[in-house]
């Protein structure tokens, strides 16, 4: 269990909410982790359980049917989910897509989607990445051409989180291919729209419980009313959400790093070799001491980032630093913790194996570590 006694970014209300989160995860997630991994998807029953507990889109305003809570409540969910060792797509809906709907959506769009997103009846995804365009979103080739009062969408997307579960997808498309970034727009596509097809639930190295998919658009006709935000403003809208998205990834990595450390401590104190526990060897103690130091620094930095974000002051460069540092340190911790397990670490029955597999992609999605360095360098 995460020790939050020394945290400085949370209030008593946040910690009371954490108790609820833990109870819901203990009942509806922990017993089914292996099932989710085997099936490659987290079923609707879990989404509905979270919705009933107020754990989906808690930052949505009361005016739009939500609880009107601050991002700290999202962060609590994120930490507990990562520490549990689940790759379920709840945080995508909480930390990313719901903001697009509330901030950019029309009154009709908010009324249509937000109530279901809060209850778990509507699961959402955002389709950015394409086979030929990843971190460079200006390189997308999916088009949305005007045809009277409609847009006709053609193209494909890949590596889309919640892709199989999604009832509605925010599609990043070129509405003016000649205008570069200024020709990019966001369009809402419901899962039952003719011409829209969900492809494979992709076979990944890790995060097996996450339904990460290919999506295909073949003359998908949607009304102009499905435009989310301003036409030609898609790239700007995406950039506006990046600080929270990257902070969200950093939060999950820090909590996962803590879980890996805790697993390593437990294992090395129990495992014996050459007449004493593995923990008693100087190499083990020094390795764990290094990890403990990095965890202390990491939690302090994360609290600083969360507090900055709650005040609306976290910059894109600062968020990029948080993603770079926590994902890189998190991966190092996963690998070191697995090594301390010896041969057991290579066995899927041990939690560290799943944690290790799941952590690798964090240095890639949401912008690669290399892109983070580029963004950071521009602010120097």
- Residues tagged active-site: 245
* 277 vs 31: CA distance, rounded Å: 30
* 291 vs 301: CA distance, rounded Å: 15
Q: How, if at all, do strands 150-161 and 168-174 pair?
A: unpaired
* 340 vs 338: CA distance, rounded Å: 5
Is the separation of the CB atoms in 122 and 113 below 8 Å? Answer: yes
DSSP per-residue string spanning 212-249: EEEEEEEEEEEEGGGEES-TT-HHHHHHHHHHHHHHHH
Element (H, E) at 268: helix 234-270
* 162 vs 169: CA distance, rounded Å: 9
* 316 vs 375: CA distance, rounded Å: 8
* 156 vs 214: CA distance, rounded Å: 7
For the chain, the first-to-last Cα distance in angstroms comes to: 38
* 170 vs 361: CA distance, rounded Å: 22
């Amino acid at each position: 269990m995460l020790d939050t006694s020394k945290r400085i970014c949370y209030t008593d209300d946040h910690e009371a909410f954490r108790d609820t989160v833990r109870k819901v995860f203990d009942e509806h997630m922990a017993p089914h982790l292996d099932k989710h991994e085997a099936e490659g998807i987290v079923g609707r029953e879990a989404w509905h359980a979270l919705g009933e507990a107020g754990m989906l889109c808690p930052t949505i305003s009361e005016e739009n049917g939500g609880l009107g809570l601050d991002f700290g409540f999202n962060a609590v969910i994120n930490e507990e989910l990562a520490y549990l060792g689940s790759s379920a797509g709840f945080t995508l809906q909480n930390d990313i897509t719901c903001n697009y709907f509330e901030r950019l959506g029309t009154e009709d769009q908010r009324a249509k989607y937000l109530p279901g997103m809060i209850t778990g009846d509507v699961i959402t995804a955002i389709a950015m990445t394409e086979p030929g365009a990843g971190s460079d979103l200006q390189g997308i080739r999916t088009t949305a051409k005007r045809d009277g009062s409609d847009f006709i969408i053609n193209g494909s997307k890949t590596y889309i989180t919640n892709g199989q579960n999604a009832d509605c997808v925010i599609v990043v498309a070129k509405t003016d291919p000649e205008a570069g970034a200024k020709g990019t727009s966001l369009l809402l596509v419901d899962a039952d729209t003719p011409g829209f097809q969900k492809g494979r639930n992709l076979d990944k190295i890790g995060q097996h419980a996450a339904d990460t998919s290919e999506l295909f658009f073949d003359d998908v006709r949607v009304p102009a009313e499905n435009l989310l935000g301003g036409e030609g403003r898609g790239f700007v809208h995406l950039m506006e959400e990046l600080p929270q998205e990257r902070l969200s990834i950093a939060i999950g990595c820090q909590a996962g790093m803590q879980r890996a450390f805790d697993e390593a401590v437990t294992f090395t104190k129990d495992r014996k070799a050459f007449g004493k526990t593995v923990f008693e060897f100087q190499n083990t103690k020094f390795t764990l001491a290094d990890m403990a130091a990095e965890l202390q620094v990491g939690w302090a930095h994360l609290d600083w980032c969360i507090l900055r974000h709650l005040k609306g002051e976290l910059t894109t460069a600062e968020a990029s630093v948080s993603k770079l540092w926590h994902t890189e340190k998190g991966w190092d911790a996963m690998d070191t913790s697995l090594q301390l397990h010896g041969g057991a670490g290579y066995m899927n029955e041990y939690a560290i194996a799943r944690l290790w597999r799941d952590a690798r992609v964090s240095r890639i999605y949401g912008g690669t570590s290399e892109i983070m360095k580029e963004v950071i360098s521009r602010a120097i």
